[in-house]
């Protein structure tokens, strides 16, 4: 009697399971999705970090866009030169590989050289601090607030706050652009990795104001522009800007700069 009951239970539940299984099997056939076989191949070659730097929600969506809408794979700044070439070969495109770019924080006004207006005791986040009076506690209203909004945004652990200033680890940086978007001061920029002479300042303050608010900021004295042999430096709103395409990294401006706002990197 008991054996009978056990068998009955097993059989009835088993039958129920088989019934559902058949139902699912039919449904799977009916709702089958035909995928382009290229998409997984492209996805394999993409970095798979889902950073969103290309403008698509993750690598899978980007792979789909590459295959179906012929979007250029060079939009992905994370993929290295090798995988870019492989992607181009797979898709039959001309292997035009861009120079690697990295994010660069254009401020070096650390705690020791750039004084504060007031003591800030609020939420430790640049975008909140930026809402405070005078756009944050730093006397220089253009400078890095050093509260690490960019550090939180970075998925590659490539940016860190050192002595109150965000510094990019160029080895790890993939130029995905997350820190650039999140910085309320807009002082992070994509620069070519191979450029070594860069202006570490975004301040448009005039000379006297600038010297009071930060000792290492650009005062717009134009000495660098005069000394540059290839005329690649322009001064606008009392701020020097280097055209990285023209710059030959001679270092003349670096020596001439009275406030050390131009520096040699790498």
**Residues of this chain that bind other proteins (CB under 8 A):** 8-9, 12-13, 16-17, 20-21, 23-24, 27-28, 31-33, 57, 61, 123-125, 128
| Start-to-end C-alpha separation, the chain | 85
Q: Which is nearer to other proteins, 1 or 28 (CB)?
A: 28
Tell me whether residue 121 or residue 245 sits nearer to other proteins (CB atom). 121
Beta pairing, strands 233-236 & 239-242: antiparallel
Q: How far is the CB of 150 from other proteins (least distance, A)?
A: 16
Per 3-state DSSP, the chain is made up of helix, strand and coil in percentages (nearest 5) of 35, 15, 50
Secondary structure in 3-state letters for 204-225: CCCHHHHHHHCCCCCCCCCHHH
Shortest gap between Cβ of 48 and other proteins (angstroms)?
16
Residue closer to other proteins (CB basis): 61 or 235: 61
Residue 100 DSSP symbol: P
CB of 17 vs other proteins, minimal distance in Å: 6
Q: Which is nearer to other proteins, 26 or 81 (CB)?
A: 26
Distances (CA, A) of 32 to 24, 28, 40, 193, 205: 12, 6, 17, 46, 63
Q: Cβ of residue 15: shortest distance to other proteins, in angstroms?
A: 9
SS3 229: coil
Q: Are 139 and 109 in contact (CB under 8 A)?
A: no
Q: Smallest gap, in angstroms, from Cβ of residue 6 to other proteins? A: 11
Query: In angstroms, how far is CA 262 from the centroid of its own chain?
Result: 23
Which residue's CB is nearer to other proteins, number 31 or number 92? Answer: 31
């Amino acid at each position: 009697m008991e054996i009978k009951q056990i068998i009955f239970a097993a059989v009835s539940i088993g039958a129920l399971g088989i019934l559902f299984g058949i139902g699912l099997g039919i449904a799977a056939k009916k709702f089958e999705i035909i995928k382009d076989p290229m998409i997984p191949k492209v996805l394999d070659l993409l970095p798979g970090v889902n950073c969103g730097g290309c403008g698509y929600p993750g690598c899978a969506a980007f792979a789909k866009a590459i295959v179906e809408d012929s979007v250029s794979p060079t939009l992905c700044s994370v993929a290295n030169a090798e995988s870019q070439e492989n992607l181009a070969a797979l898709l039959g495109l001309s292997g035009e590989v861009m120079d690697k770019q990295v994010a660069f924080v254009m401020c070096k006004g650390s705690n020791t050289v750039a004084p504060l207006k007031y003591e800030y005791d609020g939420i430790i986040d640049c975008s909140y601090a930026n809402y405070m009076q005078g756009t944050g506690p730093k006397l220089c209203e253009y400078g890095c607030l050093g509260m690490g909004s960019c550090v939180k945004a970075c998925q590659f652990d490539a940016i860190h706050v050192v002595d109150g200033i965000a510094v990019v680890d160029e080895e790890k940086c993939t130029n995905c652009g997350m820190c650039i978007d999140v910085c309320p001061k807009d002082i992070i920029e994509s620069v070519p990795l191979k450029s070594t002479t860069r202006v570490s300042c975004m301040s448009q303050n005039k000379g006297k104001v600038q010297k009071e608010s930060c000792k290492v900021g650009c005062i717009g004295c134009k000495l660098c522009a005069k000394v540059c042999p290839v005329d690649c430096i322009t001064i606008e709103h009392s701020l020097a800007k280097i055209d990285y395409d023209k710059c030959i990294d001679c270092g003349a401006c670096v020596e001439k700069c009275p406030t050390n706002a131009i520096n040699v990197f790498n």
